[in-house]
Amino acid sequence: MLDRLDIALQPIVNIHTGACYGYEALLRNHEEAGFASIDDVFDTGHALGLLSDIEMCVREKAAAKFRQMPHWRQTKLFINIDNRSLAADDDLPVRTRAMLDRHGIEESQVVFEVSERHPIGVPATARIALGHYKKANFRLAIDDFGTGFSGLQLLYFSAPDVLKIDRFFISDIASDSKKKLFLGQIVNIAHLLGVVVLAEGVETEREYFVCKDIGCDLIQGWLVQKPTRRAQDLLPHYGEVERLGRAERRAPVSDQKLIADQITQVEPIMQDCPMEQVFERFRSDKTVTFFPVIDAAGEPVGIVREAELKDYTYSQYGKALIANKTIGRRLKDFVVRCPIADINTKAEQILQVYSAVENSEGILIVDTMKYVGFLSAHSLLRVINEKNLAAARDQNPLTRLPGNNLIHEYLSEALAATDTPFVLAYFDFDNFKPFNDKYGFRLGDRAITLFAELLTKAMPRDCGFPGHVGGDDFFAAFRGLPPDEAVAVTARLIAAFARDVESFYDDATRKQGHIDGTDRQGNSLRFPLMTVSAAVIHLPAGRAACSVDDVGQQIAVLKKQAKQSASRQAIGTLG
């Protein structure tokens, strides 16, 4: 019956570049093999005392399917562990290593997933079993994180390499502020521990952008590719994810360039390096107190510090003892975790990770999960300072919102991304001059900053971009948001400003509902209380190419219509 079981693979990709990090092996064909469900396969094996054999059968099939891909050497294979096998004192790690040797797969290429959905058993026993996998150079991941009740305890004692966030937290996260809060804190904790975060079940672009904004490193889900049994359909790189990553970037000076300029190129040590060579590295470079340690794939596993080696360095027999292959300790016994950040991570998030770790040497920087350098505290502060200076140059001095340069750059990128939908909004105050003439420029500036605050709060964090063109003119853009939702946001903003700005008028003017004034010929006029109008433009996906001038002409037409509309909005489509 087990011969009829099959394996499907689903890609796990870098959230910034779309490069494939690995593939998860998922059991298929259970019905043809005579089982009611996938769980029934393992439940039956457990009941018959054959769970270890079932596990080995699945691992053998997963390895064979993995080897069918031409690019298998550059990626990892994720395999699920039935938690009940962790309570058994068997030789699964040893048997697995022997099987992988037959297939020519390195142990560091295999990531075993421990699910939080099922009981972990006695913690001490599970800890020992997971330790066997780690000592065998396998990687560990916590699967379905957030669905059980022992997640933090499991995260603490298992020291995983990857944390997989359950689909529950990803589904509809773009519109659920509580989920954003939970996921943001989980990502921060994981990064403090040097753990890579993988978002499971990402199905929409909005979910992708929120996960990327919060700081997830990897994604898996239908947005990338559904599971498939056909190994030839699996790719080493997914261009659609890379396109989304590029569409999201909008800063004139990217953090990636700032960080790259400040990285220290500390030559790493391979994880299987003999201890004699480690001692020699420290001896030959007296200025270095630690070295990054990487595995065969070039991924950082931590750092080795000179302080931990002093007992052996200054002992008469220390070096000879540690070099003894029978009783000596290997490099991995001295490796300690160090915070890790992708080179595309925002500088503020890297600073948050660094500041939360006591006595940290700095941050290991990776690009597509490969070690590229080290960022010290001094270098990190320089990155933050350079970013703040660049931002200050391009902000409006009154509202601190992105100014004309950033707006123009964002608009140019949005127009170029013709396969991504956008909604643009141009805001212009109504009756601002009579208000400014009556109450003075200071109160006029307060009205402007009031609208800036309302605009910032109204913008969806994952897809909104607010800007200040100048004076009483503002700009907003929504990437990937349906037009009706964007219109609803601008409508609420218009209503909120009209309501709040009334408090800026004196009681008599507010009561009569207008300002008395005169035109240039001296004729008496009544100017209504201040409001704001919005010209809203929808740029649909798949549109024809259009220019910034086209947008400007459309805005001019819609702005006139908006000022004559009761809703203070006019909506059009371009391209």
Domain stops at, among 347, 365, 385: 385
**pTM for the full predicted model:** 0.64
Tell me if 469 sits within 8 A of 515, measured CB to CB: no
Please tell me the total count of domains within the chain.
3
The answer for residues whose C-beta is within 8 angstroms of residue 29's C-beta and 6 or more apart is 4, 5, 6
- Between 34 and 352, residue with greater pLDDT: 34
**One domain for residues 362 and 422:** no
Q: What is the mean pLDDT of the chain?
A: 87
**One domain for residues 344 and 476:** no
**Which long-range CB contacts under 8 A does 550-554 form with residues at least 24 apart?**
550/574, 550/575, 551/411, 551/415, 551/424
pLDDT, tens digit (0-9, with 9 covering 90-100), for 522-574:
778 889 999 999 999 999 988 998 999 999 999 999 999 999 999 999 999 99
Domain stops at, among 249, 284, 299: 249
**Burial environment of residue 318 by CB neighbours within 10 A (0 to 12, 13 to 18, 19 or more):** middle
Of the CA atoms within 13 Å of residue 137, those in its CB half-sphere come to 17
Residue 168 lies in a domain: yes
**One domain for residues 411 and 308:** no
Residue 390 lies in a domain: no
Tell me if 337 sits within 8 A of 160, measured CB to CB: no
Residue 254 lies in a domain: no
Cite the beta strand spans of 125-251 per DSSP E.
Answer: 139-145, 162-165, 196-199, 218-219
Cα dihedral 133, 138, 143, 148, rounded to 10, equals 20
**One domain for residues 292 and 374:** yes
Q: How many CB atoms lie within 10 A of CB 75?
A: 22
Residue 72 has pLDDT above 70, yes or no: yes
The stretch 48-52 carries a mean pLDDT of 89
**One domain for residues 183 and 129:** yes
Q: How many CB atoms lie within 10 A of CB 199?
A: 29
The answer for residues whose C-beta is within 8 angstroms of residue 474's C-beta and 6 or more apart is 401, 426, 427, 451, 452, 455, 466, 467, 468
3-state secondary structure of 498: helix
Residue 337 has pLDDT above 90, yes or no: no
Domain stops at, among 249, 267, 299: 249
**One domain for residues 463 and 527:** yes
- Between 177 and 306, residue with greater pLDDT: 306
Tokens at 297, concatenated: 């794939």
- Residue 327's pLDDT is 54
- Residue 409's pLDDT is 85
Report how far residue 239's alpha carbon sits from residue 18's, in angstroms, rounded to the nearest whole number.
6
3-state secondary structure of 260: helix
Residue 252 has pLDDT above 60, yes or no: no
Tell me if 174 sits within 8 A of 212, measured CB to CB: no
- Between 344 and 513, residue with greater pLDDT: 513
pLDDT, tens digit (0-9, with 9 covering 90-100), for 447-490:
999 999 999 999 987 789 999 999 999 999 999 889 999 999 99
- Residue 251's pLDDT is 40
Q: Read off the pLDDT band of 411 (50, 70, 90).
A: very high
**One domain for residues 400 and 354:** no
Residue 506 lies in a domain: yes
The stretch 295-305 carries a mean pLDDT of 87
**Burial environment of residue 286 by CB neighbours within 10 A (0 to 12, 13 to 18, 19 or more):** exposed
Residue 473 lies in a domain: yes
Tell me, rounded to whole angstroms, the distance of Cα 274 from its chain centroid: 36
Q: Which has the closest alpha carbon to 138: 105, 108, 160, 102?
A: 108
**One domain for residues 369 and 282:** yes
**Burial environment of residue 147 by CB neighbours within 10 A (0 to 12, 13 to 18, 19 or more):** middle
pLDDT, tens digit (0-9, with 9 covering 90-100), for 357-374:
777 788 999 987 889 999
Residue 133 lies in a domain: yes
Which stretches within 145-192 are classed as H helix?
151-158, 167-170, 177-192
Report how far residue 380's alpha carbon sits from residue 263's, in angstroms, rounded to the nearest whole number.
9
Residue 77 lies in a domain: yes
Residue 333 lies in a domain: yes
Pairing of strands 363-367, 340-342: parallel
Residue 143 has pLDDT above 50, yes or no: yes
**One domain for residues 523 and 409:** yes
- Residue 517's pLDDT is 79
Instruction: Return the ∠ at Cα 208 (arms to 206 and 212), rounded to 5°.
Output: 120
Question: How distant, in Å, are the alpha carbons of 404, 445, 454, 482, 496 from that of 493?
Answer: 21, 18, 7, 17, 5
- Residue 417's pLDDT is 85
Cite the beta strand spans of 405-518 per DSSP E.
Answer: 422-430, 464-470, 473-479, 514-518
Q: What is the CATH number of the domain that holds 213?
A: 3.20.20.450
**One domain for residues 19 and 96:** yes
Tokens at 104, concatenated: 């020519």
Place of tokens 């910032």: 456
Q: Which has the closest alpha carbon to 571: 544, 542, 540, 548?
A: 540
Tokens at 519, concatenated: 């035109």
**One domain for residues 334 and 376:** yes
Range of the domain at 442: 395-573
Q: Read off the pLDDT band of 118 (50, 70, 90).
A: low
Q: With pLDDT > 90 as the criterion, what percentage of the chain qualifies?
A: 47
Residue 282 has pLDDT above 80, yes or no: yes
The stretch 392-404 carries a mean pLDDT of 86
pLDDT, tens digit (0-9, with 9 covering 90-100), for 1-30:
678 899 999 999 999 889 999 999 999 998
Q: What is the CATH number of the domain that holds 547?
A: 3.30.70.270
**One domain for residues 64 and 99:** yes
Place of tokens 């996998």: 133
Q: What is the CATH number of the domain that holds 361?
A: 3.10.580.10
Q: Identify any residues that bridge with 569 across adjacent strands, giving them in sequence order.
A: 534
Backbone angles phi, psi at 538, to 5 degrees: -95, 125
Residue 506 has pLDDT above 60, yes or no: yes
3-state secondary structure of 477: strand
Q: At what angle do helices 205-214 and 177-192 cross, to 10 degrees?
A: 40
